[in-house]
Amino acid sequence: MCVYNPITMLGYACINMELREQKVFTNRTLRKATLLKEGYGYLSELIIANLTDLKTILQWNEVNNLRFMRISSEIFPFWSHPELGYELEDLPNGDVIISLLAEIGAYATANNHRLTTHPGPFNVLASPNPDVVHKALLDLECHSKMFDYMGFEPSVYNKINIHVGGAYGEPDAALARFCSNFKLLSPNAQARLTVENDDRMNLFSTYDLYYGVYEKIGIPIVFDYHHHIFKTGELSEQEALEMAMATWPKGITPVVHYSESKSLHEGGEVPTPAHSDLTYGPVNTYGNEIDIMVEAKHKEKALVTLTVL
């Protein structure tokens, strides 16, 4: 595997490339028209297939000494949809789905696997549009319920990570809306939420999030190494990393994200936000204990080439 700091755990996101070639994956979904035609029995079959394959992926991870993984947000199609959403108990074979979630959670707990999520960019708690906020709240609650069914204690050990989502030309007001709308979440969802620094100058650095979010509502910051290049907040990499780490509760290892620029890997001279296929590093932990989620196109294969200091 990779060359790494022994106090650091490495993870990958959502898809296992080796197993995907064997048709093992967790993002089976369907269109709205298909749901309306085939019904919720068909949707339940997709969910059961997704969860069955998630078990297989975790077993592969265990064999390969990889115990940190981001779960796909596409396991449950339409779960948080405002009109077509559902409760798992009400689905055909809902008892099978709930049992599978419990099995997955028990396996993860017994084998010390850390499972996390990163809901999509439409989860914008800072939006001035109430409909957008409402949909975000629904989706975040579904992610939290998934972890509840897995038997996980509500905490950022099993984090639900999002971005603020937009500054709308009024960054202070956007941060205030984020903090206000955070309070509309259930206690369990609040206890799992983290926020990540951005990769654009008109959005939010680690520094911005520390003073605009953490000091207001106390949720931890996930430091993204690659994003920091584009929005430093006038902090060095080490300063920003350790500022983010200081926001995490005692006893829970902070999570960071690591990726590299696709443009540089392809011979360009200027880094861009798009992620490369593989990662090489070195990732400098500055002697800190962190869990590193590697965000690369080749998923678990990008861990093989990575060096962590």
Domain locations along the chain: 9-274
Q: Please state the rounded mean pLDDT for residues 27-53.
A: 97
pLDDT of residue 7: 57
Mean pLDDT over all residues of the chain?
93
Q: Which two tokens stand for residue 50?
A: 């997704």
CA nearest to 125, candidates 133, 135, 134: 133
From CA 115, how far away is CA 12, in angstroms rounded? Answer: 10
CATH superfamily of the domain spanning 9-274: Divalent-metal-dependent TIM barrel enzymes (3.20.20.150)
Q: pLDDT class for 201, splitting at 50, 70, 90?
A: confident
pLDDT of residue 1: 40
- pLDDT at residue 309 is higher than 60: yes
pLDDT digits (tens, 9 = 90+) for 216-239: 999 999 999 999 999 999 999 999
- pLDDT at residue 131 is higher than 80: yes
From CA 91, how far away is CA 28, in angstroms rounded? Answer: 17
- pLDDT at residue 199 is higher than 90: no
- pLDDT at residue 279 is higher than 90: no
pLDDT digits (tens, 9 = 90+) for 100-110: 999 999 999 99
Looking at the chain, the whole-number percentage of residues with pLDDT higher than 90 is 82
Report helix, strand or coil for 193.
Answer: strand
Report helix, strand or coil for 66.
Answer: coil
Q: Please state the rounded mean pLDDT for residues 22-45.
A: 96
pLDDT of residue 265: 80
